[in-house]
Amino acid sequence: MMSERQKAYRQEYRSRLSNWYNGPVHVAVIYIIGFTALWIYAQHLDNVRFWEWLAVPIVWLACNIFEWFLHLYVMHRPQKSKALRAIYNRHTLQHHQFFTDREMRFRDQKDWRVTFFPPYALVVFTLISIPGAALLYFLISPNVGWLFISTTTSVYLIYEFMHFCCHVEENWFVRYMPFVNTIRRHHTAHHNSRLMMEKNMNLTFPVADWMFGTSDLDRGLLGHLFNGYSDKYLKSDLRGRPVRPDVAAAQPLGAEA
């Protein structure tokens, strides 16, 4: 159940939103940019050889570790850089006050603003990916360069989708869809105020959390990936007790939430 503090913060945050903000348009712009970019990249692939396809899982793993690192050391650690401090403020000081493990759900589409990155963030992320793609293009092969940036862009879009699924109303899809149900429980636990600074930093697939021991679960990689909503394997030394998504969403979300 939502605390009075969380309820007050939600109301204050919404009061600062522009009246013209539209959640579906926000999401549409992100995915139009993303899918257009992926289509352009695909036009440059030519007779991809087997070994070139290996770039996809390698880059995917690197992105998973980068996602973990960014979440742990930038989103939850204030930095001197104004740009990095802005990311910390938006995530730790806003997102984590708006959503706690006791109430993770959107009230309506205007609340999507506190979860989705601004559309320009995808453009910035793409620009950051270009040097790596160019290096691989010339050092290994053009296909590997295009597969690199295709993978980084895809991971970004998956990140946004998975994060959205963590904050929607409880439904059959988020509860039973493999990987989605796992990250929904994983991220709900992360929103526990006593765990958020050190546990469950992945928001797509909890691979890096498993690798670096920052997961709240005590089980193997496959167990992590297909854990779903289960809290059977929680570590015994956790600072806080995570709430399952279905338990957190047991009460109807009122208009005042």
- In angstroms, the CA 12 to CA 65 distance is 34
Using the CB atoms, write b or e for 159-170: b if 16+ within 10 Å.
bbebbbbbbbeb
- DSSP output for 160-227: HHHHHHHHSPP-HHHHHSTTHHHHHHHHHHHTSTTTTTTS---SS-THHHHHHT-SSB-S-HHHHHT-
Tell me what the mean pLDDT of segment 75-95 comes to.
89
| pLDDT at residue number 257 | 67
Type of residue numbered 137: Y
Q: Give the alpha-carbon dihedral of 102, 27, 229, 68, to 10 degrees.
A: -90
Residue 137's SS3 state is helix
DSSP 120-170: HHHHHHHHHHHHHHHHHHHHT-HHHHHHHHHHHHHHHHHHHHHHHHHHSPP
According to the model, what pLDDT value does residue 5 have?
87
**pLDDT confidence of residue 3:** 83
Q: What are phi and psi of 217, to 5 degrees?
A: -105, 150
Residue 185 near residue 229 (C-beta atoms within 8 A)? yes
Q: DSSP label at 62? A: H
Q: Which pLDDT score is estimated for 255?
A: 60
Burial classification of residue 172, based on how many CB atoms lie within 10 Å of its CB (0-12 exposed, 13-18 middle, 19 or more buried): exposed
Instruction: Check pLDDT > 90 for residue 134.
Output: yes
Confidence of residue 78 (pLDDT cuts 50, 70, 90): confident
Three-class SS state of 257: coil
Write out pLDDT tens, residues 44-54: 999 999 999 99
Question: How far apart are alpha carbons 27 and 32 in whole angstroms?
Answer: 9
Nearest Cα to Cα of residue 198 among 62, 65, 61, 71 = 71
Could you report the per-residue pLDDT of 181-229, keeping only the tens digit for each? 999 999 999 999 999 999 999 999 999 999 999 999 999 999 999 999 9
Residue 122 has pLDDT above 80, yes or no: yes
Is the full-model pTM beyond 0.75?
yes
The structural domains of the chain, with segments of one domain joined by +, span: 4-15+23-248
Question: Distance between CA atoms of 245 and 247, rounded to whole angstroms?
Answer: 5
Q: What is the mean pLDDT of residues 76-85?
A: 88
| Rg value, the chain, Cα | 19
